Amino acid sequence: MPFDPSALTLEMLTAVLGLGVLILGLIVPKGSRHGLGWVSFLGLLGIIGVAVALWGDNRELLDGMYLVDNYALFWKITFLLSAALVILGCMRYVDSIGDQAEYYSITIFATLGMMVMASAGDFITLYLGLELMTISFIILVCFRKLEAKSVESGIKYILLAGMSSAVLLYGLSLLYGLTGSVIMLDVSRIVAMQPVSPALVLAVVMLVAGLGFKISAVPFHMWSPDVYEGAPTPVTAFLAVGSKAASFAILLRLFIAGLPGIWENWAMVIAILAAVTIIVGNLVAIPQTNIKRLLAYSSIAQAGYIMVGLVTATEAGIKGVMFYAFLYVFATVGAFTVAAYFYNITGSDELKDYAGLSQRSPLMAAVMLVAMLSMAGIPPLAGFVGKFYLFKTIVDGYLWLVFIGLIMSMVSVYYYLRVALVMYRDEPIDATPISVSSPVAVTLIVTMIATLIIGVYPGPLSEVVNNAAHTFFLH
Amino acid sequence: MLVEFAMQHAWLVPLLPACAFVVIVFLTRPWQKLSAIVAVGSMAMSCVIATLAAYGIFTNHEYIEKPLVYATRWFSLGLPGMPDLLVEVGVQLDPVSAMMMFMVSFIATFIYLYSIGYMEGEEGFSVFFSYLSLFGASMLLLVISSNLLQMFIAWELVGLCSYLLIGFYTHKVSAREAAKKAFVTCRIADFGLLLGLLSLQIIFGTLNLVELSDKIAHFEEYTTFGMITLIAVLVFIGPIGKSGQFPLHVWLPDAMEGPTPVSALIHAATMVVAGVYLVARTMFLFHEVPSAMQLVAVTGGFTAFFAATIAITQREIKRILAYSTVSQIGYMMLALGVGSLSAGLFHMWTHAFFKALMFLGAGSVLHALHHKADVWEMGGLVKKMPITAWTFVVGGLAIAGIPPFAGFWSKDEILVAALGGGHYVLFALAAFTAFLTAFYMWRMIFLAFFGEENPENHPHESPWVMTLPLVVLAAGAISVGWLGTPWHNIWGEWIRFGHPHHGPINYGAMIGSIVLAAAGIYLAYTLYLKDAKKKRARRMAEWFGPVYRMLYNKYYIDELYLWFNHALVDGTARLFYLFDIYVVDGIVNGIGAFARFSGDGLRVFQSGRLQNYVLVFFLGVLAVAVLMAFSGPSATSLLLGGVK
């Protein structure tokens, strides 16, 4: 099969954009570099446009090393969209740090890494994408390099990420050793023919641990609260959304496309991990007093919900994962953008300083509230529909997990609404109104409206996701 | 062309006021006049579209049997082990909904206009118009819904608007209390309705009106007669609350705490008749269950009589009108219950005009007298407020049932329907209520507008934005009944359930009802106008002392409910409270404490030390490995070292 570079249009465009921003940063004088944010944002929007136009292009490249299908494309759109929203919401924040060119181009390279992951059909490509993303994130996490907290979390992240990569690689090499192939579709065929060996089980354990780290599933989640807290808030947002979504994209590929033959072996483990993640994430979120740590634990719990979709390894489950990941982008970016902007104005991430936010900035309080309620799964917001699609898949066979999910959702309402209570009931200590600058306001309004619309009218998105999930099994 | 467009785009009718609501809330709130223009303009546009669409429906006989339905999928759910649930949003246009759509948008337009004058200078002027727009949107959505779920959503939305608007004067305790009472009472009823709708969905698998009517026509294939009876009764509980029928009528008179345009629009012409409309829409259900029809008829007839007796003794102008509304809706229910959808909706149609007219007239009076509401303190207003007074008189003639005014024709239809169906007791009750209606309405008119002027009052006629709607509605109150005269009943041709009814013209009932109405007016005249000192009226009240007091206190129903609440609900609540404190709270706090405790406990691991994190990570790997070894089919193979 001849190599057709047109299948890599999106990846090439993104790489060009990243490099372009970097070069522009060298040319443009320091004072006017804040325009780079707009260049990156509009560039990403353009790439999203191209991506939408490419919908329906399903093929394999290099005998399955690179898979181009609607499934990958949907994830790519999700990554690009979250990168665009994060960039739109954080321009002022980045201007206050400086080094805009590096910041934006590394964000774009992280996005590129995620896109490669979504399309990866073999272990090498997968690992390349993963490391591109991870290393970009390491740089971003310690971007405020003069601040001890930021640097500390960067060091933590690099060490722990390295360790998890090692574990993942170990798992992948075991698989290669057992099957003699790095291409997932071949691995799938060979695994199905062989009897289940302990080495194979060990490989699966390593894969679960390595990717579990990325999605911050309990007990591989320890890094995330510390890193989330220390990193610059927009980076945290992107880390919580993009890195997690990309890891889910690859998790689905690896397990459902690569290891469906031994589904019975890993399904129960994933179910138990999902349950533990949901429980621990929600319980530890309760005593948190720092908004970023609270959101970190909440995002651990959210990862637990998403893992539920993996358990049955069906099209409906994949659909649930993709649907939830997509809506999760809006809720998370909305909440973190509020946190970032709030930090910009007040220099605080503490929950108690959010007192009376509804009087100081009704928009910010409303967005935070909608994001929180959506994450808690209150209808008619998007989170409710997403959770419904996810849990619907496991009603048969894993009813206990459904109950855990529902009960812990109820528990989560407690700490989500505590934020609402502080914002709406308490009197502000400092009552000066916060005026929201227009790019941030646009981000906030987009996230809020998207959360509402997906919740009230999930039909169109659900159809798109159905289609994407369907192409997953065509290879 | 235009008509075709309007029929295909009838969804614009509720959408325009909804947009007005959004625009007013988010954009034009600081500019009062602009907000009012947005609200009135959008409703007027809706009215134009509704009129065109109604014209289209009423020029094609096919739509009577085959409604024009278009719907789009809202969402669908597939659950394992259950049939797929498909929920649509859609529009159903047939003569019934077209008539209602026209009526609501037409009356709403004029009441919005009137509100500009009435609410002038009030605090929250723009907010008021945003609520009104939201109400208009919800009500029109309710009317054109093609399925019961959508209707239920709109049903709750109008309830919400009603709550917001009754309690509009938030500084008044009584307004807040009335709003709460309305909301709670209606919620109780809506729960019944919700149960009914859920049962319908579960048994028949759809809430789509057209499909339901097909399926219920042979319900034996799906369920038992007992179940369908239960469903009909549950569904009817909703209208009992929303339309203020006995025993849930208590909220409606209190709802008069809201601004008068609200009383006219929501609590006279549109929302409170939503119950009648719902019963009419689900007639296919009630039709199958004679006992449910009987229940509707008896509830209606009794409420009509019951509320009329209370109205005789009330003193506040809007309260009298409120009880009269309850009573008139009773008539409509009675008509539906004896099987004449045509007569019930005809009375709804005429009532909307003359009752909105009378409420707006009352509003005009209150506006002039600075909210002095007691009719005994008015008197002689006709000299200073001629337009208000004479349009009010038109309304009075219409509601009393004097030909050729609108109310006569529709009330006559109901009486004939009751008689024709062999419901003699209900007929007698309705006829006597007609007498009472004429009496208490004219008592109010003579006391307020005629006789001697009260020197303390300095009334003045209202501005044109208020009198224009009065004149338009008065014209309606005279003429809208001509659609359904017994000699040429156009109304019955179009709006009906089953075949059109062509009975012989019952001149006896017609003349009888005129005589009763005239007698009622004459009695009011002798008691309250001819006898300037009202000696006889007072003497009557003394003679019938206990009865009078009972009526004046509305049969002590509020007190009864209050006592019931105190004794039973509070008592049980106290019991539950103890249970709650010691048992439920114990459990909940226990769980909460456990959650907190375990949260804190788990936090200990989060030491910030990297070595610990790595340790936990690898312990995790180990745990997963053990888990995998002991779960699933691999367990044996792992333990046996791969030997099968």
Question: Can you give the residue ranges of every domain in chain B?
Answer: 1-146, 555-606, 610-644
* Cβ <8 Å between A226 and B73: no
* Cβ <8 Å between B637 and A411: no
Q: What is the C-alpha to C-alpha distance for residues A323 and B529, in angstroms, rounded to an integer?
A: 74
* Cβ <8 Å between A160 and B644: no
Q: Is the peptide bond before B247 cis (omega within 30 degrees of 0)?
A: yes
Q: What is the C-alpha to C-alpha distance for residues A235 and A143, in angstroms, rounded to an integer?
A: 9
Residue B537: its pLDDT value, please? 67
Contact assessment for residue B602 and residue A284, using Cβ atoms and an 8 Å cutoff: yes
Work out the minimum CA distance from A63 to partner chain B, whole angstroms.
31
Q: What are phi and psi of A290, to 5 degrees?
A: -100, 130
Buried b (16+ CB within 10 A) or exposed e, B334-372: bbbbbbbbbbbbbbbbbbbbbbbbbbbbbbbbbbbbeeb
Q: Where are the domains of chain A?
A: 13-472
Nearest by CB to residue B620, choosing from A219, A264, A457, is A219
Q: Which two tokens stand for residue A168?
A: 């993942």
Asked if A459 reaches chain B (Cβ–Cβ under 8 Å), the answer is yes
pLDDT band at B82 (very low <50, low <70, confident <90, very high): low
- Containing A78, the helix (H) or strand (E) segment is helix A70-97
Cβ atoms within 10 A of the Cβ of A14, count? 28
* Cβ <8 Å between B625 and A265: no
Nearest by CB to residue A195, choosing from B598, B613, B644, is B644
What percentage of residues in chain B have a pLDDT greater than 70?
93
Work out the minimum CA distance from A21 to partner chain B, whole angstroms.
35
**How does pLDDT run across A370-407, given as a tens digit for each residue?**
999 999 988 889 999 999 889 988 888 888 999 999 88
* Cβ <8 Å between B637 and A223: no
**How does pLDDT run across A154-174, given as a tens digit for each residue?**
999 999 999 999 999 999 999
Q: What is the C-alpha to C-alpha distance for residues A453 and B334, in angstroms, rounded to an integer?
A: 43
* Cβ <8 Å between B613 and A156: yes
Contact assessment for residue A238 and residue A231, using Cβ atoms and an 8 Å cutoff: no
Q: CA angle, corner A101, sides to A96 and A104, nearest 5?
A: 85
What percentage of residues in chain B have a pLDDT greater than 90?
13
Plot region of A63 (φ>0 → left; ψ -120 to 50 → alpha; else → beta): left
* Cβ <8 Å between A160 and B613: yes
Asked if A390 reaches chain B (Cβ–Cβ under 8 Å), the answer is no
Report which residue type is found at A165.
S
Nearest by CB to residue B79, choosing from A197, A220, A395, is A395
CA distances for B20 relative to B122, B157, B398, B459, angstroms? 20, 16, 34, 35
Nearest by CB to residue B627, choosing from A212, A269, A385, is A269
Asked if B605 reaches chain A (Cβ–Cβ under 8 Å), the answer is yes
Residue B532: its pLDDT value, please? 65
Cβ atoms within 10 A of the Cβ of B98, count? 28
Chain B residues with CB-CB distance to A395 below 8 A: 79-80
Asked if B624 reaches chain A (Cβ–Cβ under 8 Å), the answer is yes
Buried b (16+ CB within 10 A) or exposed e, A67-103: bbbbbbbbbbbbbbbbbbbbbbbbbbbbeebeebbbb
Rounded to 10 deg, the angle between the A263-285 and B585-605 helix axes is 100
Work out the minimum CA distance from A246 to partner chain B, whole angstroms.
21
Work out the minimum CA distance from A7 to partner chain B, whole angstroms.
34
Q: Higher-confidence residue: B311 or A81?
A: A81
Asked if A383 reaches chain B (Cβ–Cβ under 8 Å), the answer is no
Q: Higher-confidence residue: B525 or B457?
A: B525
Asked if A220 reaches chain B (Cβ–Cβ under 8 Å), the answer is yes
pLDDT of residue A34 exceeding 70: yes
Residue B87: its pLDDT value, please? 82
Residue B78: its pLDDT value, please? 67
Q: Is the peptide bond before B404 cis (omega within 30 degrees of 0)?
A: yes
To test the contact with chain A by mutation, choose from B89, B638, B640 the residue with the greatest count of A C-beta atoms within 10 A, namely B638
Cβ atoms within 10 A of the Cβ of A174, count? 19
Residue B643: its pLDDT value, please? 39
pLDDT of residue B81 exceeding 70: no
Buried b (16+ CB within 10 A) or exposed e, B478-501: bebbebbbbeebebbbbbbbeeeb
Asked if B612 reaches chain A (Cβ–Cβ under 8 Å), the answer is yes
pLDDT band at B177 (very low <50, low <70, confident <90, very high): confident
Chain B residues with CB-CB distance to A206 below 8 A: 621
pLDDT of residue B635 exceeding 80: no
Q: What is the C-alpha to C-alpha distance for residues B485 and B512, in angstroms, rounded to an integer?
A: 16
* Cβ <8 Å between B74 and A209: no
Residue B636: its pLDDT value, please? 46
Asked if A408 reaches chain B (Cβ–Cβ under 8 Å), the answer is no
Nearest by CB to residue A395, choosing from B80, B613, B642, is B80
**How does pLDDT run across B612-627, given as a tens digit for each residue?**
888 888 888 888 888 8
* Cβ <8 Å between A462 and B75: yes
Contact assessment for residue B263 and residue B322, using Cβ atoms and an 8 Å cutoff: yes
Asked if B290 reaches chain A (Cβ–Cβ under 8 Å), the answer is no
Count Cβ–Cβ pairs < 8 Å, chain A vs chain B: 121
* Cβ <8 Å between A222 and B632: no
Radius of gyration of chain A (CA): 21
Contact assessment for residue B399 and residue B437, using Cβ atoms and an 8 Å cutoff: yes
Asked if B627 reaches chain A (Cβ–Cβ under 8 Å), the answer is yes
Q: What is the C-alpha to C-alpha distance for residues A385 and A456, in angstroms, rounded to an integer?
A: 9
Asked if B87 reaches chain A (Cβ–Cβ under 8 Å), the answer is no
A280: CB partners within 8 A, 6+ apart: A218, A221, A300, B602
**Residues of chain A numbered 55-74 and touching chain B (CB < 8 Å):** none
Q: Which two tokens stand for residue B488?
A: 């040429």
* Cβ <8 Å between A163 and B614: yes
Q: What are phi and psi of A59, to 5 degrees?
A: -160, 170
**How does pLDDT run across B416-467, given as a tens digit for each residue?**
888 887 888 888 888 889 888 988 888 888 888 887 777 777 777 778 888 8
Residue B642: its pLDDT value, please? 41
**How does pLDDT run across A302-331, given as a tens digit for each residue?**
999 999 999 888 888 899 999 999 999 999
The residue among B534, B567, B353 whose CA lies nearest residue B452 is B534
What percentage of residues in chain A have a pLDDT greater than 70?
100
Chain B residues with CB-CB distance to A272 below 8 A: 627, 631
Q: Please report how many Cα atoms fall inside a 13 Å half-sphere around the Cα of residue A241, on the Cβ side.
A: 32
Query: Which residue from A minimizes the CA distance to B612?
Result: A222
* Cβ <8 Å between B629 and A458: no
Note the ipTM here: 0.83
pLDDT band at B508 (very low <50, low <70, confident <90, very high): confident
**Residues of chain A numbered 186-215 and touching chain B (CB < 8 Å):** 195-198, 201-202, 204-206, 208-209, 212-213
pLDDT of residue B641 exceeding 50: no
CA distances for A109 relative to A66, A103, A248, B532, angstroms? 18, 10, 19, 94
* Cβ <8 Å between B638 and A198: yes
Please tell me whether residue A61 adopts helix, strand or coil conformation.
Answer: strand
pLDDT of residue A63 exceeding 80: yes
Q: Higher-confidence residue: B607 or B415?
A: B415
Buried b (16+ CB within 10 A) or exposed e, A29-65: eeeebeebbebbbebbeebbeebeebeeebebbeebb
pLDDT of residue B233 exceeding 80: yes
pLDDT of residue B79 exceeding 70: no
Mean pLDDT of A440-448: 92
Q: What is the C-alpha to C-alpha distance for residues A447 and A458, in angstroms, rounded to an integer?
A: 15
The predicted model scores a pTM of: 0.76
Asked if B84 reaches chain A (Cβ–Cβ under 8 Å), the answer is no
Nearest by CB to residue B633, choosing from A265, A286, A395, is A265
Chain A residues with CB-CB distance to B619 below 8 A: 219
Token pair 């695994």 is at which residue? A191
Asked if A166 reaches chain B (Cβ–Cβ under 8 Å), the answer is no
Residue A1: its pLDDT value, please? 59
User: Which alpha helices (H) appear in A286-381, and where do they start and end?
Assistant: 291-311, 315-346, 357-360, 362-376
* Cβ <8 Å between A195 and B632: no
* Cβ <8 Å between A265 and B621: no
Q: Please report how many Cα atoms fall inside a 13 Å half-sphere around the Cα of residue B158, on the Cβ side.
A: 30
Work out the minimum CA distance from B600 to partner chain A, whole angstroms.
7
**Residues of chain A numbered 412-451 and touching chain B (CB < 8 Å):** 414
Q: Which two tokens stand for residue B198?
A: 């859920």
Chain A residues with CB-CB distance to B627 below 8 A: 268-269, 272
* Cβ <8 Å between A284 and B603: yes
DSSP one-letter code for A290: B
A176: CB partners within 8 A, 6+ apart: A123, A182
Asked if A156 reaches chain B (Cβ–Cβ under 8 Å), the answer is yes
Query: Which residue from B minimizes the CA distance to A227?
Result: B608
**How does pLDDT run across B90-114, given as a tens digit for each residue?**
888 888 899 999 999 999 998 898 8
Residue B644: its pLDDT value, please? 36
The residue among A86, A87, A66 whose CA lies nearest residue A10 is A66
Plot region of B642 (φ>0 → left; ψ -120 to 50 → alpha; else → beta): left
Report which residue type is found at B638.
L
pLDDT band at B640 (very low <50, low <70, confident <90, very high): very low
**How does pLDDT run across A182-205, given as a tens digit for each residue?**
998 888 888 888 888 888 888 989
Mean pLDDT of B185-201: 90
Asked if B596 reaches chain A (Cβ–Cβ under 8 Å), the answer is yes
**How does pLDDT run across A447-457, given as a tens digit for each residue?**
999 999 998 88
